[in-house]
Structure 1
Amino acid sequence: MNWTWFHKLGSPKWFYEISGRWLPWFAWAAGILITAGLVWGLAFAPPDYQQGNSFRIIYIHVPAAFLAQSCYVMLAVCGVVGLVWKMKLADVALQAAAPIGAWMTAIALLTGAIWGRPTWGAWWVWDARLTSMLILLFLYFGVIALGQAISNRDSAAKACSVLAIVGVINIPIIKYSVEWWNTLHQPATFTVTEKPAMPAEMWVPLLIMVLGFYCFFAAVLMMRMRLDVLRREARAGWVKAEVKALVEKAS
């Protein structure tokens, strides 16, 4: 089997060129999808028969929670690729994605607290789902702190990769916490294998928001990675040529 395509993914130059083409598409898609999902979900979706209008927080909470977990799985995959195949671009992706994942986890916890106050009567409870999400936030902080605390780039990359791989065990705990333990948190709003419990006019805008959040993640991730690639490859000839072309274009 020819693995040339796989090793090509680790080329900073190739990534910079291809991401420059994809970035505008993901950015526009994120803006359109998030705007459409928010307007539909907040203004036109019917209120829940039990929770009333307070349920509308799910249009922010659920996409943020999905993305927070998916992002950490990506960190673990990048960690494996970086340790096994020694691809520097894997570390670039890991370092660029960690702050985004941390923000999404924080948003999920904050919106969950806003929803929990009228529903449970408390901003915070030591529920299995909430506690495992809080642990996820600390794992993100750990990855970010390791990457900044260790001056040697290779050592920092290895340390962050190991933590990302070890910490990924928390993801199935988050996912199945409502099934393994007696928790206050409700089960999944919708899954791929089961019919949604809510009507289409409520779950379709939620699906749009989820897609919008993932497009937003892709766009921001590529922006952060492109900046980091330029910083790391500053002495490379192709970077100098790229900067020269940008300067000439600006002038």
Structure 2
Amino acid sequence: MWKTIKRWYHQLGSPVYFYRFSSAVLPWLLPISLVVLAVGLAWGLAWAPVERYQGDSYRIIYIHVPASSGALMGYIAMGVAGLVALVWRMKMAEVMLKALAPFGAVLAAVSLVTGALWGKPTWGTYWQWDARMTSMLILLFLYLGIIALQSAIRDPRQAARAASLLAMVGVINVVIVKYSVEWLQTLHQGSTLKVIGESSIDDAMKWPLLISMLGLWLLYAANVLMRARTEVLNRERRAGWVRKLVNRP
């Protein structure tokens, strides 16, 4: 098992192998992600039952929760990529760090907007500076900060090191986002969907939510692979395998 993981680790660390791997995966991953996401959203927005207290306004969770979870998972992935880039100086980790940031920033922004829209009919206000919402806003700024660093520093290796440090430090904020409703008194409701333990959400509402989350995660993965492929070609443009690929009839 460990030998298999180690072999995959070194193989995916090779730009050539990664490009070939992504070429094989993307034609399947992208359409599957779109179909799964469409099924989850259609089920949740059109056919899930009406919530007892919030009525139909609760249906925004089928966008809000997947976006929030995707933004958190994406940042954790950036933190891991940043650690690998700093400790082992792996170029593909630097590529993945750059590829993860844009879509993660979009998801963080979607989470904030949908949360505000949900908050108005639920709490009577679009925004409150409570722990969950404020830490999510900070997460968006961290994403934008990483994107800005990578754009401002011309040397890709130096840009990757600076972005890696910010990504690793920012993981602390991910923990705050996740557990703020448990540690602090906030306006935001607690978690109703739990991986471990019994969820408080009804199964008729839970399954379309889980499917929507899976679809968005797969779409995030497809987006990252496409961005990473572009970055790999840009960085390796002088390599022989890229020249053969470009000149191939």
- What's the TM-score once normalised by structure 2's chain length? 0.96
Deviations 1:134-187 (A, max 9, x none): 000111111011111111222111100011011110011111100111111111
* Secondary structure of the corresponding residue to residue 168 of structure 1: helix
Q: Does 1:10 align with 2:22?
A: no
Q: Who is 1:221 aligned against?
A: 224
1:94-173 equivalences under 5 Å are 94-173=97-176
Q: Who is 2:180 aligned against?
A: 177
1:190-205 equivalences under 5 Å are 190-205=193-208
Q: Who is 1:241 aligned against?
A: 244
* Secondary structure of the corresponding residue to residue 107 of structure 2: helix
Residue 30 of structure 1 is aligned with which of 21, 29, 33?
Answer: 33
- Tell me how far 1:199 sits from its aligned partner: 1.7
Amino acid at match of 2:94: D
Residue 86 of structure 1 is aligned with which of 85, 89, 92?
Answer: 89
2: CA distance between counterparts of 1:109 and 1:120?
A: 15
1: CA distance between counterparts of 2:192 and 2:110?
A: 18
2: CA distance between counterparts of 1:151 and 1:198?
A: 48
- Tell me how far 1:24 sits from its aligned partner: 1.7
1: CA distance between counterparts of 2:215 and 2:114?
A: 18
1: CA distance between counterparts of 2:104 and 2:35?
A: 22
Amino acid at match of 2:211: I
2: CA distance between counterparts of 1:102 and 1:111?
A: 14
Q: How many pairs are equivalent?
A: 246
- Tell me how far 1:7 sits from its aligned partner: 2.1
Unaligned runs of 5+ in 1: none
* Secondary structure of the corresponding residue to residue 206 of structure 1: helix
1: CA distance between counterparts of 2:136 and 2:78?
A: 16
2: CA distance between counterparts of 1:198 and 1:43?
A: 17
- Tell me how far 1:216 sits from its aligned partner: 0.2
2: CA distance between counterparts of 1:190 and 1:35?
A: 21
- Tell me how far 1:4 sits from its aligned partner: 4.4
Q: Who is 2:42 aligned against?
A: 39
1: CA distance between counterparts of 2:23 and 2:147?
A: 26
Deviations 1:167-214 (A, max 9, x none): 110011111100111111111120111222122111100000000001
2: CA distance between counterparts of 1:177 and 1:212?
A: 26
Unaligned runs of 5+ in 2: none
2: CA distance between counterparts of 1:169 and 1:181?
A: 16
2: CA distance between counterparts of 1:159 and 1:199?
A: 44
1: CA distance between counterparts of 2:34 and 2:12?
A: 27
| Same amino acid, percent of matched pairs | 52
- Tell me how far 1:120 sits from its aligned partner: 0.8
- What's the TM-score once normalised by structure 1's chain length? 0.95
